[in-house]
Amino acid sequence: MSRVLFANFLRFILLVFIQAFLLKNVTVYDLSVPYPYILFVMLLPFETPNIILFPLAFLMGLSIDAFYDTPGLHAAATVLIAFVRVLFISITVQKDGFDNEPEPTLSSMGFRWFFTYSLIITLVHHFLLFNLEVFRLSEMEYTLTRFLMSSVFTVFLMLITGLLFFRKKRA
Partner 1 sequence: MANGEQLVVYHSPSISHHSLLTTHHMRNLLIFITKYSAFFLFLIFEGIALFIFVNYNNFQRASFINTSNEVTGNLYRNISNVNDYLKLKEINDSLARQNALLRNQLMSSLYVDTAGRKKINDTVYKQQYTYIEARVINNSVNKRMNYITINKGSLNGIAKGMGVIADGGVVGIVMQASPHFSVIRSLLHKDTRISAMLAKSKEGGSFMWAEDMDPHKGLLYDVANSAQPHLGDTVVTDQHSLFPIGIPLGRVSNLKPKTGGFFLNMEVKLSVDFSKLEYVYVINNKFAQEQQGLEALQKTDE
Interface contacts to partner 1, rule CB under 8 A = 20-21, 24-27, 30-31, 33, 50-51, 53-55, 57-58, 61-62, 65-73, 75-76, 79-80, 82-83, 86-87, 132-134, 136, 138-139, 142, 146
Cα dihedral 116, 52, 63, 102, rounded to 10, equals: -40
Which is nearer to partner 1, 43 or 53 (by Cβ)?
53
What minimum distance in Å lies between the beta carbon of 26 and partner 1? 8
Q: Are 62 and 43 in contact (CB under 8 A)?
A: no
Which DSSP category does 25 fall into?
A: T
| Residue at 116: amino acid letter | T
- Backbone Cα Rg of the chain: 16
What minimum distance in Å lies between the beta carbon of 148 and partner 1? 14
Which is nearer to partner 1, 34 or 162 (by Cβ)?
34
Q: Which of 109, 138, 108, 144 is nearest to 123 (CA)?
A: 144
Which is nearer to partner 1, 10 or 87 (by Cβ)?
87
Q: Which of 151, 161, 48, 152 is nearest to 106 (CA)?
A: 161
What minimum distance in Å lies between the beta carbon of 168 and partner 1? 33
Which is nearer to partner 1, 59 or 119 (by Cβ)?
59
